[in-house]
Chain A
């Protein structure tokens, strides 16, 4: 899915240039628009709710009418208000988990590539072990033991994202290690931290950008699934994943209470995926030509 081609002697484009290059593709533009729209919808939504998203104001699964645009959910709450306020948790938790996973994974990947030898082997074997745990199963295990908490979820999803991230970043950073500017920095005895942050990291921005996009989508899907399974956002709070699960029994009577939240999660992730994949394609196409 990721078609980056890091080359040995390639000179990386500055970030501004990268952004401009990425946005030339129609697919990435569409993806970006969808993604930004959904994030804005999630952030602004809670301020526009006609009712409290948790207030019980009608009969369960009441039909649209009586001031309820889409009717009521399984407990008699306004569906519109719940949809409007159901994205914010998913958004901040998704972004936080992605940030955590990307930072941790990149750090592990770069250190492994930089140190090589036994450190590299050790880190990568640990990553291999982590890769064998499916994120959702691991999250369910922990939540069952310690009880539901949003921060624990964020941490668990971040840990789930880490191994894949570490592998990709190590792969991208290894060729960079043999470049002249890195060798030079090592020879004159600059600190490892300086070399990694100033010399190596800027050279792997392209795969990093693509990975951030993809990991964000994975964490959104993961978090929504966990809420659906009852291990994520706890009732009575509104959340798209939780709404699907709460209202699925009324699918025959009140399908909108399930379909709209599901569509919201879908738009969010499809937008993100389009963007990340389009960006990967553009970078893959242009990187080689520029080197």
Chain B
């Protein structure tokens, strides 16, 4: 049922997909400290699960904790803490086999109890964790230990994409009853020190079950803005970063000693329109905003021509609906706004400018809107202050890197932090229910197409372009791999640094 683990397949597929490819090199020396730059707010914590998170959280977690399996581009899995997942005929009982001889950073053994504890915590409504949306088809009482290395999940009703759900890279495992600040995981690196908003230092874990990392330490350094991390890279204060300013790529190309790596397209910078408040309550206003955007100009000038045009629906290059590419149409936009009685709309657009091209994108929208008498005032905010009111904002920027199956639960959630556009569409919700009942990929794809068409027709996000993640790293660093699907530099196991 599942594709077997072929480590080399991962490397080959990545090399084929990335224009610069993975930077693996043989015979490089080992040791040293890798300094990775991330754009992060000051409010992140060391807990493996938290609701306010920025880049540092993901990078840190990826070094210290592991999921059951890593997803692969071809739809298969590279097993990590699990070694296999089986199910009964009607998709109601799933059995997860765990990897034997896996040690936590304190030397104790990983087992079924730890897995059950994590699932119980994620499923507990009181904790209000984002991950619950990926697995809320589960009944916490239905999870039971068969033996130390086997966990059985009895579901209240059939659920098709079980493996997909539980192998979410954010569902990671720590030692049962350990404290959050211990960060007691099984990952290839263990915690040395952490200062919120500044840096995290991790070192190689010698008891790691898999191939041990070659570098001694990884230092994850937080920056307030992409400008700052880009400048730090150019100034050689850091060795690698996935949070760089795309507008400076031309400068970086000319800078000796720096290399650029592009992943597959996996990022959509979105402009959200809160669908339960004025003026975006009216679908005509939302559609008008989408028609105002000059997508081609945005792709070439805000995103430096990296990536492809997007069509106002989420998800990436699989299962696309049969709708034409939306183009700028100011006449139509003007008419829609007039019909809605919002001809001289004036509104603030808030952004933290925390992704490449974001600030440029909103400026292009504001400039195009001006042509039909709509005033959009751009408000650039500090990331911490911006995130505090996440879920309450009316016109704002965000970004999405998730596969469709994972994004949908958030779009249909009743929680404002997840469904930040407050979009609520009955037909979309009923299709979503069908999507998760089937385990047939073909059928899933057909349903996805219908759902994306609804998003295209009446959704609440402006999705202009789909971008690759562009990372920049020092040419002294070898073996960096863009993680699938995020395209970020999370995996440092194969990294070596030339001394």
- B247 contact from A74, A145, A147, Cβ within 8 A: A74
- B301 contact from A56, A230, A235, A245, Cβ within 8 A: A56
Asked if residues B379 and A147 are in contact (CB atoms below 8 Å), the reply is yes
Whether B300 is near chain A, meaning CB under 8 Å from some CB there, is yes
Whether B447 is near chain A, meaning CB under 8 Å from some CB there, is no
Specify which chain B residues have a CB less than 8 angstroms from the CB of A249 in the assembled complex: 227, 230, 245, 247-248, 251
Which residues 107-162 of A sit at the B interface, judged by CB distance below 8 A? 140, 143-145, 147-148
Asked if residues A59 and B248 are in contact (CB atoms below 8 Å), the reply is no
Asked if residues B360 and A74 are in contact (CB atoms below 8 Å), the reply is yes
Whether A263 is near chain B, meaning CB under 8 Å from some CB there, is no
Whether A46 is near chain B, meaning CB under 8 Å from some CB there, is no
Asked if residues A60 and B370 are in contact (CB atoms below 8 Å), the reply is no
Q: How far is the CB of B472 from chain A (nearest CB, A)?
A: 13
Whether A252 is near chain B, meaning CB under 8 Å from some CB there, is yes
Whether B165 is near chain A, meaning CB under 8 Å from some CB there, is no
Q: How far is the CB of B423 from chain A (nearest CB, A)?
A: 25
Docked Cα-Cα span, A142 to B447, in Å, equals: 48
Of chain B, the residue at the smallest CB distance from A145 is B385
Whether B366 is near chain A, meaning CB under 8 Å from some CB there, is yes
Specify which chain B residues have a CB less than 8 angstroms from the CB of A144 in the assembled complex: 381-382, 384-385
Query: Taking A74-B360, A145-B385, A234-B378 as contacts, is the C-beta distance between A56 and B367 under 8 angstroms?
Result: yes
Specify which chain B residues have a CB less than 8 angstroms from the CB of A56 in the assembled complex: 297, 301, 364, 367
Specify which chain A residues have a CB less than 8 angstroms from the CB of B380 in the assembled complex: 148, 230, 234-235
Whether A284 is near chain B, meaning CB under 8 Å from some CB there, is no
Docked Cα-Cα span, A144 to B247, in Å, equals: 25
Most B CB within 10 A of own CB, among A145, A234, A253: A234
- A54 contact from B304, B367, B381, Cβ within 8 A: B367
Contact with B along A65-107 (1 / 0, CB 8 A): 0000000001110000000000000000000000000000000
Asked if residues A75 and B250 are in contact (CB atoms below 8 Å), the reply is no
Number of residue pairs spanning A and B whose beta carbons lie under 8 angstroms apart: 70
Query: Taking A144-B382, A147-B379 as contacts, is the C-beta distance between A75 and B360 under 8 angstroms?
Result: yes
Docked Cα-Cα span, A60 to B380, in Å, equals: 20
Main secondary structure of the interface of A (DSSP, over half): loop
Docked Cα-Cα span, A55 to B369, in Å, equals: 11
How many positions in chain A have a CB within 8 Å of any CB in the partner chain? 26
Whether B302 is near chain A, meaning CB under 8 Å from some CB there, is yes
Asked if residues A61 and B301 are in contact (CB atoms below 8 Å), the reply is no
Contact with B along A214-250 (1 / 0, CB 8 A): 0000000000000000100011100000000100111
Of chain A, the residue at the smallest CB distance from B234 is A249
Which residues 371-403 of B sit at the A interface, judged by CB distance below 8 A? 377-382, 384-385
- B251 contact from A54, A235, A236, A252, Cβ within 8 A: A252
Docked Cα-Cα span, A76 to B247, in Å, equals: 11
Query: Taking A144-B382, A249-B227, A252-B254 as contacts, is the C-beta distance between A234 and B247 under 8 angstroms?
Result: no
Asked if residues B302 and A75 are in contact (CB atoms below 8 Å), the reply is yes
Q: How far is the CB of A142 from chain B (nearest CB, A)?
A: 11
Specify which chain B residues have a CB less than 8 angstroms from the CB of A76 in the assembled complex: 301
- A75 contact from B248, B251, B364, Cβ within 8 A: B364
Asked if residues B250 and A236 are in contact (CB atoms below 8 Å), the reply is no
Asked if residues B230 and A75 are in contact (CB atoms below 8 Å), the reply is no
Q: How far is the CB of B339 from chain A (nearest CB, A)?
A: 27
Whether B419 is near chain A, meaning CB under 8 Å from some CB there, is no
Of chain B, the residue at the smallest CB distance from A253 is B250
Q: How far is the CB of A149 from chain B (nearest CB, A)?
A: 9
Specify which chain B residues have a CB less than 8 angstroms from the CB of A148 in the assembled complex: 379-381
- B363 contact from A61, A75, A250, Cβ within 8 A: A75
Asked if residues A250 and B247 are in contact (CB atoms below 8 Å), the reply is yes
Query: Taking A55-B367, A250-B251 as contacts, is the C-beta distance between A236 and B300 under 8 angstroms?
Result: no
Asked if residues B304 and A236 are in contact (CB atoms below 8 Å), the reply is no
Most A CB within 10 A of own CB, among B245, B300, B363: B363
Q: How far is the CB of A202 from chain B (nearest CB, A)?
A: 44
Asked if residues A60 and B304 are in contact (CB atoms below 8 Å), the reply is yes
Whether B129 is near chain A, meaning CB under 8 Å from some CB there, is no
Docked Cα-Cα span, A144 to B363, in Å, equals: 20
- A235 contact from B250, B300, B359, Cβ within 8 A: B359
Specify which chain B residues have a CB less than 8 angstroms from the CB of A147 in the assembled complex: 350, 379, 381, 385
Specify which chain B residues have a CB less than 8 angstroms from the CB of A230 in the assembled complex: 225, 353, 380
Asked if residues B384 and A75 are in contact (CB atoms below 8 Å), the reply is no
Docked Cα-Cα span, A145 to B230, in Å, equals: 26
Q: How far is the CB of A82 from chain B (nearest CB, A)?
A: 12
Which residues 250-272 of B sit at the A interface, judged by CB distance below 8 A? 250-251, 254
Taking beta carbons and an 8 Å cutoff, which residues of A are in contact with B?
A: 54-56, 59-61, 74-76, 140, 143-145, 147-148, 230, 234-236, 245, 248-253
The 17 sampled A-B contact pairs (Cβ below 8 Å) are: A54-B366, A59-B301, A60-B247, A75-B301, A140-B382, A143-B382, A145-B385, A147-B385, A148-B381, A235-B363, A236-B367, A245-B227, A249-B245, A250-B247, A250-B248, A250-B251, A252-B251
**8 nearest A-B pairs in the assembled complex, by CB-CB distance:** A249-B248, A236-B363, A144-B382, A144-B385, A76-B301, A252-B251, A74-B247, A54-B367
Known pairs A59-B301, A61-B247, A236-B366 / 6 extra A-B pairs, C-beta < 8 Å:
A54-B370, A143-B382, A148-B380, A234-B379, A250-B248, A252-B254
Taking beta carbons and an 8 Å cutoff, which residues of B are in contact with A?
A: 225, 227, 230, 245, 247-248, 250-251, 254, 297, 300-302, 304, 350, 353, 359-360, 363-364, 366-367, 370, 377-382, 384-385
